Amino acid sequence: MSSVDTFISSVGFSDPAYLAERDFTHGENMLRESSSPAIAAFLSNYTAVAIERMDWRSVKIKLVASAYVTHDLPPPDYITSVRALVFHNGSILLMRNKDGARILPGGRLEPGETLLDALRREIREEAGVRIRDIHRLGFVHLQHQTPKPPQYAYPYPDFFWLVFRAHAHSKRARPQEPDDYQISAEFVPLAKLGSLKLRPLDRAYFAAATQGQTRNTGLD
């Protein structure tokens, strides 16, 4: 058994039933009806493994985010960001910011950028880490719970993040473009995750990444 498998067995959140009960009891009540028939039809084929509320205080935006583990891609026009769990020899990349600790670094696509190019760039900028062996885990459906901000240039009220698993070329992490929001980037032993208060989406995708529920990206 690998160190990853040992960790999730000891913590006990590798079971999808556990994730559903703990992470989104009454979660369905958080969601509004999608304004897009295409998105509503797409999501009707899947069941979320975790749901959490997000509060982007700096821009006064509240969201509900639902995690899905699947090989399928959501409608491309609604994909705004890419994120990844990044592993290296029994450790995982941990990002600390003003809202806490997360293991899903990444960010928005830039115009003309491919999904994988955006992922490599974002991880490099946020953590100074180069990644390889990229596998797709699923997607996050995010839905705004607050009015559309003025001059908001992104899909509204529904949009998606793609989520991947990747490995780092080295364990050295240092943000190349530090900002006022990110505090630190470091690789921590997997055994240390049990002592951190991870959010539902992080736990759900960690479980998926360590249970072999991945596939090659098919996006290059």
Alpha-carbon distance 102 to 154, whole Å?
A: 23
| Residue whose tokens read 């698993």 | 165
Q: Cα 85 to chain center, whole Å? A: 8
Q: Strand, coil or helix: what is 68?
A: strand
What pLDDT is attached to residue 59? 72
pLDDT in tens, 55-67: 887 778 999 999 9
Q: Which fold has domain 3-214?
A: Nucleoside Triphosphate Pyrophosphohydrolase (3.90.79)
Region 89-118 average pLDDT:
92
